[in-house]
């Protein structure tokens, strides 16, 4: 079974909406890295001239390759990623190998059999 890894860098307050959208689009879960910090196109300077880093949440979503486009579109829409600067980004990476997924693959195959042409 082929997999893709979708990484979503999004504002903390949009995390739940993005997770819900990913699940509705076919993702079965995500790993959440909270309290990440990011920097946009321009530095933000706060009081005393110190640089301010925007708080972000990073979501790692491992999905079947056949579902990845739909999940990526769903998280983009839910997170408003293309609405303006500083709303976050999502990227999709090919997964060459993954281990520890035997039971997940059995469940996916049972619950969501591949569509036949």
Which mean pLDDT values do the consecutive 10-residue runs of the chain (117 residues) have?
A: 92 93 92 82 74 84 93 95 82 91 74 67
Domain covering 3-111, topology: Alpha-Beta Plaits (3.30.70)
Per-residue pLDDT, 107: 75
Domain spans, the chain: 3-111
Per-residue pLDDT, 117: 57
Output the six-digit token pair for 36. Answer: 């990440």
Question: CB-side exposure of 29: number of CA atoms within 13 Å?
Answer: 5
Sign of CA dihedral 84, 90, 91, 92: negative
Per-residue pLDDT, 103: 77
Among candidate residues 60, 4, 65, the one with its CA nearest the CA of residue 29: 60
pTM: 0.80
Output the six-digit token pair for 62. Answer: 């491992």
- Could you tell me how far CA 49 lies from the centroid of its own chain? 33
């Amino acid at each position: 079974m082929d997999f893709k890894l979708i990484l979503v860098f999004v504002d903390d307050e949009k995390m739940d909406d993005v997770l819900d959208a990913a699940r509705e689009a076919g993702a079965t879960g995500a790993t959440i890295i909270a309290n990440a910090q990011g920097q946009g196109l321009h530095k933000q300077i706060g009081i005393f001239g110190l640089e301010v880093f925007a708080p972000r949440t990073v979501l790692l979503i491992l999905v079947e390759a056949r579902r990845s486009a739909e999940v990526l579109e769903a998280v983009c829409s839910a997170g408003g990623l293309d609405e303006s600067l500083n709303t976050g980004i999502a990227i999709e990476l090919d997964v060459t190998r993954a281990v520890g997924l035997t039971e997940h693959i059995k469940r996916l195959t049972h619950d969501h059999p591949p569509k036949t042409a």
